[in-house]
Homo-oligomer: A and B are copies of this chain.
Amino acid sequence: MNNYIVLKNRPSGRPKESDFEFKEEERPSPKDGELLLKTKYVSVDPYLRGRMRDEKSYIEPFKLNEPIESGIIAEVIESKHDDFEVGDYVNGMLKWKKFQLSKGEGLNKVDGNKAPLSAYLGVLGLTGITAYLGLDKIGNPKEGETMLVSGAAGAVGSVVGQIGKIKGCRVVGIAGSDEKVKMLQKEFGFDAGINYKTTENMKQAIKESCPNGVDVYFDNVGGEILDAAMANINSKGRVVNCGAISLYNETETPKGPRHETTLIKKSVRMQGFTVRDYQADFPSAVAQLATWLEEDKLTYEETIVEGFDSIPKAFIALFDGENKGKMIVKVS
């Protein structure tokens, strides 16, 4: 038999386990040109929340009662495809199924000897690439500048901060616990950290941690933390709008202070992006990240949850900030 997970209801506000449904089917068999894949590691990411809404975006919404998909590392266990052999590991946008067929489209082989398989969902996968290209295309950090990162202990934020250090910036991270803040400094080499959950005046806290102001703000959260960063932004500052997890579960567009006067007075750029905008740059990004990893200039954290049944729970936990680094579900 085979197990899979479908979207049962479009979540209203924070997703609940009852928005997902576990289903069973026969385990499929590959025809000519097809592979049978066994899911090893599943990536759960905040952006999936967006695909659960029924609205136009850069990517099609998930359909109700159909399997959800995300980044997955799988093992080829049967192959009737010339390019893949049994025992190959592949990375791709795949369905939340224990077993699934593929025609090989969009799959990339990964080498478990070069780096742990799970790293291909994190630092060497879309989250690492997102960090790298967000900075390369928009943030453009220069030596001696100050970089502020929110969601700094998360999968993207922790890589962003480390790249900031490689580029010679003062790097300050915002995270949601003292333990995470300690991790930012001890493991990822950030210069300072702010626990937003215990800080009353974020504007003032950023001012103290960034005495020369903020040149690059890499934003993973949006909302009031963005406002506090904008209050400290320098002339010609760049805001990389990568994520807005603080707003994803809102049912109406929240209001906040208008930023247009700051944008004008300080010649500031705010730019959103989706990593797919820069697909042509993926290979060079991965190559650079792999080099830094090999040179020990880059390290990463993972929160690995065990078991196929834990996938929805692990996804929901993202909104409580329960993960350190990349949140991954180990299925088999």
Chain B residues closer than 8 Å to A244, beta-carbon distance: 258, 260-261, 264
Interface SS, A side: mixed
Q: How far does the alpha carbon of A212 sit from the alpha carbon of B258 in the complex, in Å?
A: 27
Partner-contacting stretch, out of A16-24, A180-188, A272-280, A286-294: A272-280
- Contacts known (A244-B261, A247-B260, A255-B255); A274 close to B267, Cβ less than 8 A: yes
Are A241 and B263 neighbours in the complex by a CB distance under 8 Å? yes
Q: Is A11 an interface residue (CB 8 A)?
A: no
Chain B residues closer than 8 Å to A235, beta-carbon distance: 58
Chain B residues closer than 8 Å to A274, beta-carbon distance: 264-265, 267
- Contacts known (A58-B235, A235-B58); A222 close to B265, Cβ less than 8 A: no
- Contacts known (A223-B258, A255-B256); A273 close to B277, Cβ less than 8 A: no
Pick the contact of A272: B241, B255, B264 (CB < 8 A): B264
CB distance from A277 to the nearest CB of B (A): 5
Are A243 and B255 neighbours in the complex by a CB distance under 8 Å? no
Q: Is A254 an interface residue (CB 8 A)?
A: yes
Q: Is A201 an interface residue (CB 8 A)?
A: no
Q: How far does the alpha carbon of A270 sit from the alpha carbon of B261 in the complex, in Å?
A: 12
Chain B residues closer than 8 Å to A264, beta-carbon distance: 241-244, 272-274
Are A257 and B257 neighbours in the complex by a CB distance under 8 Å? no
Are A269 and B271 neighbours in the complex by a CB distance under 8 Å? yes
Are A260 and B57 neighbours in the complex by a CB distance under 8 Å? no
CB distance from A262 to the nearest CB of B (A): 7
Q: Is A50 an interface residue (CB 8 A)?
A: yes
Query: CB-defined interface of A44-75 with B at 8 Å, one 1/0 digit per residue?
Result: 00000010000001100000000000000000
Q: Is A194 an interface residue (CB 8 A)?
A: no
Q: How far does the alpha carbon of A244 sit from the alpha carbon of B261 in the complex, in Å?
A: 6
Chain B residues closer than 8 Å to A254, beta-carbon distance: 257-258
Q: Is A226 an interface residue (CB 8 A)?
A: yes
In the A-B complex, the 6 residue pairs with the smallest Cβ-Cβ separation, listed nearest first, are A263-B272, A264-B272, A222-B260, A269-B271, A253-B257, A241-B263
